[in-house]
Structures are given as structure tokens and as C-alpha cells.
Amino acid sequence: MELLTKLYGPFFDMNNWKTVIESGEDWMIILSLVLIECLLSVDNAIVLAAQTQKLPDKKQQEKSLFYGLWGAYLFRFILIGVGSYLIHFWEIKVLGAAYLMYLSLNHFYQMKYPEKVKHKQAKKRKPLLPLFWSVVISIELMDIVFSVDSILASLAVSSNPVIVLIGGLIGIICMRGIAEVIMKLIEIVPELEVMAYFLIGLIAIKLFLTIPMIDIEIPAAAFGIVVLGSVVVTLIVHKVRN
């Protein structure tokens, strides 16, 4: 109980919230945290947009992002409380990288061998969860994996968990906005889905390289250039094909 009070007490201190809300300096820090969150969430947005494409219609896709949004808020609150321990959770990154690589390779396997996939799906047993909820759970798991970096970066800027929480919550909304834009672009340019899964493979490698034993951090700006370049190449391919 004492540990919980120590970790989460600042969130329930009304004076702490009042001080942050009334402080112009704190809001400048929050805006910088939102920017950090958006930069670090580009890869998350790509993964989310690709995952929602499994759902059959736009209504379900948007609904899955909505459910994922509230789950992201809950997990962000929990993870900020234990932020000082997150640095030791490199195993989460390894599992996340492995899962992302599986998503990428599995997508290209299905593209190359559609007959085998159809045959396998015909023999498959009934899944434990409906497709919609399996996508929502996948979104939540990816949020946990990707929030490790953004929370640690935010805690390095400000040690006040309330400031980090406000910045994170605003950042999550921005990231969901990016994901919805990518979803709409995929509808217009179907080739972008292939590009998204190619980037998911790169994101898996990028995430794995950040574990303490390797400790290679690819700058967000450099990855942003790769994403932009991939989009440009995909649009050119789409134009040529049509």
C-alpha cells in the first residue's frame, strides 16, 4: 500500500494538478512532451492503421481505435506510475519486436501464397475471440510496447507525473489522428498497405536495436525521413500502375 501511495499519490494530489494547470511554464513543458509523443508515435500509428485494416468496414476500424484510445489512457496512467522501473523492461521490447516482425512477414507470406492461406483458414478452428476484439487487444499490446520509449523520454524532461500524464494523453489523441489519416490514405492508395507492413518490419528492427545489450537509437527525424520517402515511392508506384 505504501508503494502504491508513493507511485500514484501525485496523481491524486489536487494541489499538484492546480499548480500545473495554472503554470505557463508547465504548459510549455507539456507542449514539448506532446511533440515528443507525436514524433515517437509515428511508428505506432503505422502499426495501428495496418492492424485495423483486418476489420471489414470503416465503422469497425474507427470503433477499434476508439476502444484502443481508452485502453491507452488506462495503461499510460499505470505505466507512468512505474516509470522508474520501465528501463528494466527490455524484455517487452524484444517481445514487441518479435510480434511486429511476425506481422510483417506473415502479411507478405499471405500475399505470396494466398491459396495456402485460404486452405489453412478453412481448416482452422473457431477463434477464441471475435476478430474485432482480437484487433483491439492487439492495439492495446502495441500501445504498451511503444509507450515505454515515450514515457521514459517524457520522464527525462519532467519528473512530475501529472505533467507527463497530461502530455501523454494529448499525445495519444494526436497519434490516433495520425493513424486515422493513414487509414484514409490506404483506402485511396491500396499499395500503402504493403508499404505499411514493410515499415512494420523496419520498426521491429528499430525497436530491437534499442534493448540495453545493443543500445542503438535511430533518431525519430531519420525514421521520419524513411517513412516520408516510402510514402513518396509508393505514390509513384500507384501512379505508374494506374
- Which distant-in-sequence residues (6+ apart) come within 8 Å of 154 by Cβ? 33, 36, 37, 164, 167, 168
Q: Kindly tell me the burial class for residue 143, based on how many C-beta atoms sit within 10 Å of its own C-beta (0-12, 13-18, 19 or more).
A: buried
Does the pLDDT at position 181 exceed 70?
A: yes
Q: What mean pLDDT comes out for the span 196-217? A: 88
Does the pLDDT at position 122 exceed 60?
A: no
Does the pLDDT at position 105 exceed 90?
A: yes
More confident residue, 139 or 147: 139
Indicate the range of 32-41, 193-202, 205-214, 229-238 predicted with least confidence: 32-41
* % of the chain at pLDDT higher than 90: 7
Phi, psi dihedral angles at 215 (to 5 degrees): 55, 50
Tell me the domain boundaries of the chain. 2-241
Mean pLDDT of the chain: 82
Does the pLDDT at position 232 exceed 80?
A: yes
Distance between CA atoms of 142 and 136, rounded to whole angstroms? 10
pLDDT score for 238: 92
- Which distant-in-sequence residues (6+ apart) come within 8 Å of 38 by Cβ? 171, 174, 175, 178
13-22: per-residue pLDDT in tens?
888 888 888 8
Do residues 167 and 11 lie in contact, with contact meaning Cβ atoms separated by under 8 Å? Answer: no
